[in-house]
Amino acid sequence: YHRVLQHDPNHCLALANLATIQHSINENYAEAEALYSQSVDFRPNLAHYFTKAHHSARNTSHHVLPSHLDYAGVLYNFGAFQHEVKRNLSLAMSLYSLSLEYNPNSTATLN
């Protein structure tokens, strides 16, 4: 992941996967939060942040989001972090809902 980030410091999946490692394995929650936030360009105070349209607009020639299924996973994992670590159920639910917009058949998110 570090090699990918050397070439593309905003690579969504590399950032999110490193965040998951920091969250789930290393229990380095501050680093996990920073990496998750960077991976989804976390700006929850924007009026339309929790819409698929906002995130889809991030696809540019300089910044390409992963597939819908992969991005759903990124959003789900960040939601789980907010739920489990930060104990912010409201924010977690917003991230879970956005994740479901990208993958409406996600059994993990529906649970």
pLDDT of 60: 77
Burial of 1 (0-12, 13-18, 19+ CB in 10 A): middle
CA-angle at 85, arms to 80 and 88, nearest 5°: 75
Q: What global pTM score does this model have?
A: 0.93
Asked if residues 103 and 56 have their Cβ atoms less than 8 Å apart, the reply is no
Q: What is the pLDDT of residue 64?
A: 78
pLDDT the model gives residue 61: 64
